[in-house]
Structure 1
């Protein structure tokens, strides 16, 4: 068994939905990787495609900081056939970057992390979509298109993983069950998004551990989340409202979850994520402080 701990650009406010603004300064790729190197991580998630560079630039950057690429987010509109076909070049572009990183011969290959794009209604209703769910035809489309994407990933020498995610059509425990029943793609298990979807991380790990090939670990303040959902806030409100916090400040029983992860014999990447929605005036020292806190919280096990 070998669990390897990675960090992620999203913990520094760098992700696909980072807000624009001239008064908002985000860290560079080297600044992110420098913090992860100093605070004891062995890998990094991709972040937005291109953020870490491509080709030699990517490989040299990872090597310079002693890090490997753990995985990377690729969301696709799996329930809309035409939109899905139109989005496949974006998947191919991301796979090019994974291939660039793999040329360095890492100890573990990165996992292209597929996810559903959801729709406007799901995005506006975290926690299960307020009854807006897929019918039988919708699940057939999603499973068929996931199969197409998975074959594309495997043809490039990688194994796909699928991220259940808030505000998508694979969010709740029942939706995760249906996804796993209908596809051969294993799961990115995300403790934070499972809490948002109404699940229990410890129960979820025990329920799906045989189908989990990637782990995203994050802590959540459930009271903040419930207030946002009750006030009809969307996913941006979840990110910007202080829902995701350093380990020990939220409701994740990290000791119980990590005991279960280790006992199960999990062998793979553990990506620490503390989703941060950046704002002007944020404390510039916070990312390194929180990265260290989160990494230190895992040293009992890894």
Structure 2
């Protein structure tokens, strides 16, 4: 039995907040496109997009649920507490997902609400957490992780551009202070100054989920120079189709095998709604799947 399976995500089609207006394609259209390209799973996307706990399994059309984003403000104790309601709602949907082998059980992806001043910190000089803040931040991450475990799911924390856990050093600190597994996102790490291949090796014991994403540092540099935010970086194509950015994709796939990674590899090509046509997004994700297949994944 193959122990690594490949999924895709609504964000690759510009769907990550339903408040953005009508999505560029329906959930049923997306599921058909992803399944037709040969993916085996899909990320949840915004709550409600793929249905509710009552109809999720039917709406997945044979795909497995790979994961799903739960954004919490770990830097603010009161905001964190208020956000736990949304985490619980996400976990309720997870509980309705089709049964899967243990290594392919869906992973709650613990996202970190942003700090705009830290967006791709040029030279690493923008302010992050004060040393005195790390203990509280990490304790709240640990609390969220335990809440997921109590519901029967093993979570993974997602480092991310424009947040308090952005750079390799930030990730190292979080791993030191918690026992949560890591959702290693190759694109976010690349654009934050990290080496995804090295990170897979260095953090192999803690990597529980993988987002494969390419990145273009020249687009990032221009976005920083223009003073735009992370959303606009996505809209400008900062996260490129696989093989068109600077990610060492063969190295990533090779290293996943070397460390005996077992679980989901989720292809993401973050974009904004309306910036690319639905036809182009569908073609990109089919091409992304072929690139991984050609590398043996």
Work out the CA distance in 1 between the residues paired with 2:81 and 2:282.
Answer: 40
Deviates more, 1:173-182 or 1:271-280: 271-280
Work out the CA distance in 1 between the residues paired with 2:271 and 2:91.
Answer: 26
- What does 1:207-246 align with in structure 2 at a 5 Å threshold? 207-246=202-241
Label 1:17 to 1:173 Cα distance change in 2 as closer, same or farther (>3 A): farther
Work out the CA distance in 1 between the residues paired with 2:23 and 2:173.
Answer: 41
Asked if 2 retains the 8 angstrom alpha-carbon contact of 1:18 and 1:277, the reply is no
Asked if 2 retains the 8 angstrom alpha-carbon contact of 1:262 and 1:301, the reply is no
Please state if 1:5 is matched with 2:6.
yes
Q: TM-score, normalised by structure 2?
A: 0.94
Shift of 1:222: 1.4
Shift of 1:237: 1.9
Work out the CA distance in 2 between the residues paired with 1:115 and 1:15.
Answer: 13
Asked if 2 retains the 8 angstrom alpha-carbon contact of 1:170 and 1:176, the reply is yes
Work out the CA distance in 2 between the residues paired with 1:154 and 1:276.
Answer: 31
- What does 1:247-286 align with in structure 2 at a 5 Å threshold? 247-279=242-274, 282-286=276-280
Q: TM-score, normalised by structure 1?
A: 0.92
Who is 1:90 aligned against? Answer: 86
Work out the CA distance in 1 between the residues paired with 2:278 and 2:47.
Answer: 24
Aligned length: 292
**SS of match in other structure, 1:131:** coil
Label 1:17 to 1:204 Cα distance change in 2 as closer, same or farther (>3 A): farther
What do residues 4-58 of structure 1 show as CA deviations (whole Å, max 9, x unaligned)?
Answer: 10010001110028744xxx75111101100011100000001001110112311
Work out the CA distance in 1 between the residues paired with 2:18 and 2:226.
Answer: 22
Deviates more, 1:84-93 or 1:224-233: 224-233
Which portions of structure 1, spanning 4 or more consecutive aligned residues, are displaced by more than 6 angstroms?
none
Please state if 1:67 is matched with 2:68.
no
Who is 2:141 aligned against? Answer: 146
Asked if 1 retains the 8 angstrom alpha-carbon contact of 2:217 and 2:246, the reply is yes
Work out the CA distance in 2 between the residues paired with 1:159 and 1:213.
Answer: 9
Shift of 1:284: 2.8
Work out the CA distance in 1 between the residues paired with 2:35 and 2:213.
Answer: 19
Asked if 1 retains the 8 angstrom alpha-carbon contact of 2:15 and 2:23, the reply is no
Please state if 1:41 is matched with 2:43.
no
Unaligned runs of 5+ in 1: none
Work out the CA distance in 2 between the residues paired with 1:298 and 1:254.
Answer: 8
Asked if 2 retains the 8 angstrom alpha-carbon contact of 1:70 and 1:269, the reply is yes
- What does 1:52-201 align with in structure 2 at a 5 Å threshold? 52-62=50-60, 65-101=61-97, 104-107=98-101, 108-122=104-118, 125-127=119-121, 130-201=125-196
Label 1:18 to 1:292 Cα distance change in 2 as closer, same or farther (>3 A): farther
Unaligned runs of 5+ in 2: none
What do residues 95-141 of structure 1 show as CA deviations (whole Å, max 9, x unaligned)?
Answer: 1011111xx3122210000021133433xx33367421111221111
**SS of match in other structure, 2:169:** helix
Work out the CA distance in 2 between the residues paired with 1:147 and 1:250.
Answer: 34
When the two chains are superposed, the root-mean-square deviation of aligned CA atoms in Å is: 1.6
Work out the CA distance in 2 between the residues paired with 1:283 and 1:80.
Answer: 38
Q: Which of 271, 274, 284 is 1:290 aligned to?
A: 284
Work out the CA distance in 2 between the residues paired with 1:53 and 1:170.
Answer: 31
Asked if 2 retains the 8 angstrom alpha-carbon contact of 1:127 and 1:196, the reply is no
Work out the CA distance in 2 between the residues paired with 1:88 and 1:7.
Answer: 26
